[in-house]
Amino acid sequence: MAEVHELQPHVVVVVCLEVYSANCNAHRSPQDSPSSRIMVHMYRIAVKCCLAVIAPIGCAEVDSATGNAGGGALDREASHRIQGVQVISRAADILRLLGRETDGLSLGQIAKSVALPRSTVQRVVAALAVEGFISTEKGYGGIRLGPEILSLAQATASDMKDRLRPAMKRISDETGETVDLAVLDGNKMLFIDQIVGSQRLRAVSRIGETFPLTTTANGKAALACLQRDHAERLIVAEVGERDSNARTPDEILDEIEQIKNGALAKDENEHSDGICALGFAIKDSNGDIFALSTPVPSTRYERLKDSLAKVLGRCLEDIGR
């Protein structure tokens, strides 16, 4: 019976290297016979396997005939570059999701929504949290956007925010109500600044939250600044995500046309029960749309809406000058 020897990979590597070194050119001019071609083919396979064992991860593919690096595989730098792009893409997906889900999400909910393994999401979330782009503090509704991402969002609109802040303060001083500033961000309104009112019962939101377009005063005002076909696409998409009791796109488009013709945008218990709002929007030189609105508790909205509309109207005229 033949002896059975334990396979020692390092010995195989050494032997293959010795064969390669002694016969590196032998296969280049083989005898033209089937047996010699088979031997050369087996030799090349051995060399290729050997070099694959000793090659660093991510190195270029090795030509089994010459032992030189070939161009078939990605080098280490290209591999790292692709991995980096993939990580950024995954982080962006998570940030966009949290931008839509302002109440916060668990790791499991994020993983399910972005179709990634929970372990992958956990690593990306941990890295984003270190940089302040998301917050993972317990007791605040789960994982949500962090202060750093919010400051970046505010920085992109700093010029218009500075321009509108005196008007916001004037409205708040005259009415005692809270005044919000939001910017159209794709298919939602991003809340970027606020003057808190002096009323004891007041409506206050958190900077960095996002709001829908079709049920909020600032969203409707922003829609009125868009071309009709663009506004209609956004309206149809958003209404389709809600239940069957929502207003139809045609009804909302009719309201948007009224705003285009000079009416203030309004939200009368549409977005949040117990909160009403009036607002308007303007477009800056870059084409970005900013909406200013005044949320008011429903208990005093009917009494204040006419005077509030006058204050907002004067402000809009002053801004347009």
- The answer, yes or no, to whether residue 236 has pLDDT greater than 60, is yes
Average pLDDT over residues 226-241: 90
Average pLDDT over residues 106-112: 93
What residues contact 213, with CB distance under 8 A and at least 6 apart? 187, 188, 189, 219, 220, 222, 223, 234, 235, 238
Q: Could you write out the three-class secondary structure of 298-321?
A: HHHHHHHHHHHHHHHHHHHHHHHC
Least confident of 53-67, 130-144, 160-174, 233-247: 53-67
Coil, helix or strand at residue 289: strand
Task: Compute CA distances 220 → 161, 237, 275, whole Å.
Answer: 20, 14, 16
- The answer, yes or no, to whether residue 262 has pLDDT greater than 60, is yes
Q: What share of the chain is helix, strand, coil (3-state, %, to 5)?
A: 50, 15, 35
Name the percent of the chain lying above pLDDT 70.
68
In the block, tokens 């809406």 appear at 305
**Two structure tokens written together for 126:** 């941990």
Calculate the CA 26 to chain-centre distance: 58
Name the more confident of 234 and 69: 234
Q: Tell me the pLDDT band of 146, cut-offs 50, 70 and 90.
A: confident
| Angle between helices 107-114 and 76-100 in degrees, nearest 10 | 110
Question: Where is 277: in which H helix or E strand?
Answer: strand 275-283
Residue 222: which of 238, 243, 246 has the closest Cα?
Answer: 238
Q: Is 114 exposed, middle or buried (0-12, 13-18, 19+ CB in 10 A)?
A: middle
Coil, helix or strand at residue 187: coil
Q: Tell me the pLDDT band of 273, cut-offs 50, 70 and 90.
A: confident
pLDDT score recorded for residue 80: 56
pLDDT score recorded for residue 259: 96
Q: Tell me the pLDDT band of 176, cut-offs 50, 70 and 90.
A: very high
pLDDT score recorded for residue 200: 82
- The answer, yes or no, to whether residue 60 has pLDDT greater than 70, is no
What DSSP designation does 119 have? H
* Identity at 142, one-letter amino acid code: G
pLDDT score recorded for residue 278: 96
pLDDT score recorded for residue 59: 42
276 within 8 A of 296, measured Cβ to Cβ: yes
Q: What is the pTM of this model?
A: 0.55
- The answer, yes or no, to whether residue 56 has pLDDT greater than 50, is no
Residue 51: which of 18, 24, 79, 16 has the closest Cα?
Answer: 16
207 within 8 A of 144, measured Cβ to Cβ: no
Average pLDDT over residues 138-149: 75
Q: Is 246 exposed, middle or buried (0-12, 13-18, 19+ CB in 10 A)?
A: middle
pLDDT score recorded for residue 135: 86
pLDDT score recorded for residue 79: 60
Average pLDDT over residues 181-201: 89
- The answer, yes or no, to whether residue 24 has pLDDT greater than 70, is no
Domains and CATH numbers, the chain: 1-73 (no CATH), 76-150 (1.10.10.10), 157-320 (3.30.450.40)
Calculate the CA 304 to chain-centre distance: 39
Listed ranges 102-116, 247-261, 273-287; the one with the highest mean pLDDT: 247-261
In the block, tokens 């070099």 appear at 51
Neighbours of 11 (CB within 10 A): 11
- The answer, yes or no, to whether residue 206 has pLDDT greater than 70, is yes
- Determine the number of helices (DSSP H) and then strands (DSSP E) in the chain: 11, 8
